[in-house]
Amino acid sequence: EGVELLGEIKDFCERSRSGEFVSWDDYDHYYGWDDSGDSEEFEEWIELFTDLMKSVMKLTLGGQHREAVEGYRLLFGILKEAGETTDILGNQGAPEDFIELNFAQAIKSYAVSLLQIEENLGLDAAIQEILSVAKDYRYCGGFTGLAEALDPKGRKRLKEILTGIVEEELRLEKRSCPHEVEGLIAIAAAEKNDLEILSLKEKFASRNAIYLREVIAHYQEEKDWQAVARWARKGIEHFGYDGEYARALIEALDTLGDKLAAQEAHIAYFLKYPAAGEFSSLKQRSQSLSNWSGVFERLLASSTKESTGWPGRAGLRTRLLLAEGREKEALEEFHAGKGGKDLEEIKLIAKYAVARLSEGMDLTGYKKLLKHRERLKEEQSSLYDWLRLILKNPQDLRQEDYARLAASSYQMLVDEHLQSGKPSRAAPAAHYCAIVVEISRLMSCPDLWTNLLAHLKEAYRRKRLIWQNLRAEGIGVTP
C-alpha cells in the first residue's frame, strides 16, 4: 500500500511540475482580482493534494514510517514549490490557504514517523528537517505539530535550537520578530505553561502586533487596567493609533477614572481615524467634561492641510463645521477654497446639497435622486455616516440655494474627472451631469443644466467620450 501510494504522489508531483494545473486570474485596476473564471485546475490540485496527504497520515498511523516520511517530503516539497512559483498553479495565491487540512496534525504525523527512524538521522537532524517545514507553515500550526510530537527531551533540544536562533537575530538588532518565537510559544503551550507563553508574548510584543493584542486581551480579562493602559500605549508607540490599541487605552483610562487622559487619547484617535460615530462619542464625552468648545476648536485647528500635511484633512474641516451646525462658515470656506478642495470634500458638499434640496419632496420619476435618497438611508460608509450625522442639524438655506450649490459642486466633479485624461472617467462625469438634469427639472430651474451644458461645450467639445456617455444616460445633446 505504501509503495503504491508513493507512486501516486510521484506522479502527482510530475504532473504539477509539467504545468497541468496552471490557471490564471485576471487583475483589473478598478475591480481588483477577478476570480469568477475557470479555476477547475486549481481546485483539482487542492483536492488531490489533500487526499494524498491524508493517505500518508494513515501510513503513520499504520506504522509504515519510512514510506510515510518519503511521502511527507514529496508533498511538502511540492506544496512549497507551488507557493513560490507560478509554474505549478499560476497566480492563484498561497495554496495552503485553500487546503482543508489540519496542518498541525500533518506536521505532527511527519515528525512522529521521522522520529521512529531517528537511528539513521539523530535527534538534531530529525528536528532540523521538520523545523524547516514547521517554519514555512507556522501560521497553520506548524510549530504546534512539531512541539506536540516531541517528548520532553526533544522539546528541550528544540527549545535550545530555537532560543539560539532568536538570540542571534536579536544580537543583529533586527526589528522584525523572529519566526522561531512562534516555536517557543508552541513548546510552552505543549507543556501547558501559560506564564511562559505570556512572558514570550510580552517580550516580543513590540515586534509583533498579534502578540501585543493578545497581551492586552489577557490583561483586559484579568481587569488589570494599569497593565492594559501600559501595553496599549506601547502598541500606539510601535504601531500607531490602531483602533484596537486606542480603544483599549481609552477603556483603561476611563475605568481608572482618568477622564481627561481618556479624552486626550480619544482626540488623538479621532484625528487619526475621523469617523462620524467617533465624533459623536467624543462630543458627548467632552460635553460631560464641560470643555467641548475648546476641544472642537482643537479639532478644527488639526484638520487643515497646513497642520497635518494630509490633503484629506481639508474635507475633514468641512465635515466638522457641518456636523457642528456651522453651515454658513463651512460653505463660505468651501466656496473660497480655503485649504484647497479634495475630491471627497466636493462629493460631500454635492450629496449634502442634494439631500437638503430634496427633503420632503416627492422624487417619483427622478431615478438618480431617488437612488441618492436610498443610499443615504442604507449605505454604510464613512461619507454617508457623516452625511446622516450632519443632516440632523436644521438647514439654513432655501431649497433653490441648495440646488445651485449641488449643481456647482457636480460641475467641479465633472471637471475633476474629465481633466484627469482617463477615458474611464467619462462615465462618472456623465452620471453627475444626469443628476444635475434631474435637479434642474425638480426645481424648475432650467439654467442649472443649461449653464453646465454650456460649460461642457466650451471646455470639452472635442472629448468624444463624454458626449457618448451623456447619450447613454438618456441626455440627447451634441457638442
Residue 126 to residue 221: CA distance in whole angstroms? 40
Q: What is the pLDDT along the chain (479 residues), one digit of tens a residue?
A: 789 999 999 999 999 999 999 988 764 444 444 444 457 899 999 999 999 999 999 999 999 999 999 999 999 999 999 999 999 999 888 899 899 999 999 999 999 999 998 666 788 999 999 999 999 999 899 999 999 999 999 999 999 999 999 999 899 887 889 999 999 999 999 999 999 999 999 999 999 999 999 999 999 999 999 999 999 999 999 988 767 899 999 999 999 999 999 999 999 999 988 999 999 999 999 999 999 999 999 999 988 754 444 444 558 999 999 999 999 999 998 888 755 577 888 999 999 999 999 999 999 999 999 999 999 999 999 899 999 999 999 988 999 999 999 999 999 999 999 998 899 999 999 999 999 999 999 999 999 999 999 999 999 999 999 999 999 999 987 76
* Domain residue limits, the chain: 2-197, 204-267, 274-341
Residue 423 to residue 407: CA distance in whole angstroms? 23
Residue 188 to residue 141: CA distance in whole angstroms? 14
Return the pLDDT at 119.
66
C-alpha cell at 50: 489533500
C-alpha cell at 397: 438655506
Residue 133 to residue 107: CA distance in whole angstroms? 8
Which residues contact residue 147 at a Cβ distance below 8 angstroms, ignoring those fewer than 6 apart?
Answer: 155, 158, 183, 186, 187, 189, 190
Q: Nearest 5 degrees, angle CA 77-CA 16-CA 19?
A: 135
C-alpha cell at 334: 468651501
Return the pLDDT at 367.
95
Backbone φ, ψ for residue 30 (5° rounding): -95, -45
Angle between helices 382-390 and 367-378 (to 10 degrees): 90
Residue 322 to residue 331: CA distance in whole angstroms? 9
CB 323 within 8 A of CB 279: yes
Return the pLDDT at 303.
84
Candidates 206, 205, 201; CA nearest to 186 is 201
C-alpha cell at 60: 503513520
What is the full DSSP assignment across 157-224?
A: HHHHHHHHHHHHHHHTT-SSPPTHHHHHHHHHHHTT-HHHHHHHHHHTGGG-HHHHHHHHHHHHHHT-
Is residue 121 helix, strand or coil? coil
CB 356 within 8 A of CB 397: yes
Return the pLDDT at 91.
87
Residue 303 to residue 310: CA distance in whole angstroms? 9
Tell me the Cα Rg of the chain. 31
